[in-house]
Amino acid sequence: MPLPEFNKNGDLPQGIYYAKLKEVLDRFGKESASRKTLALRLERIYQIAVSTGHLARFIVFGSFITEKSHPNDVDAFILMDDDFDFSKVKGEIKLLFDHNLAQSHFGCSVFWVRRCAALDGEDQTIKYWQIKRDGKYRGIIEISGE
């Protein structure tokens, strides 16, 4: 099922939508130079998360998945398996799992937790990312494969 059209606020309608990475890149990463740059960033952080072998779920939210012509950055929430050990991660992978370093190195705002740390369960934790700063709800995307 294709991703839905934007609502009157320029957001995806409230809900969690499932898409392959390619579908997200094709839909949101082609119309401007800034969107193309952000699409490359999203692709890179997704690949790094997958490379750990512990990625459980990967959520994209924020201005990149809106109709905004020049989004600020890519926002991602990453849910990792319980056996993911941050202390054993090295190199560029380690940068992804430090919010401030991810912002400066990848140009992406990354939040993450292990499944066991998802308060009220992982589905409830993921639903939280639908809430915008103004308290209104938006749609978010869970990437499931490339």
- Residues 117-144 have a mean pLDDT of 93
Cross-strand pairs, 96: none
Q: Is the pLDDT of residue 126 over 90?
A: yes
Its sign, for the CA torsion 70, 25, 51, 118, is positive
In this structure, whether the domain defined by 15-143 belongs to CATH 2.40.30 is answered with no
Q: State the Cα–Cα distance between residues 112 and 95, nearest whole angstrom.
A: 12
pTM equals 0.94
Q: Specify whether the CB–CB gap between 6 and 28 falls below 8 A.
A: no
Residue 146 has pLDDT above 80, yes or no: no
pLDDT at 1: 65
In percent, the amount of the chain with pLDDT more than 70 equals 99
Percent of the chain clearing pLDDT 90 (strictly above):
92
Which two three-digit tokens encode residue 54? Answer: 């512990």
* Cα-based distances in Å from 19 to 25, 33, 93, 121: 10, 23, 24, 22
Mean pLDDT to the nearest integer, 52-59 = 97
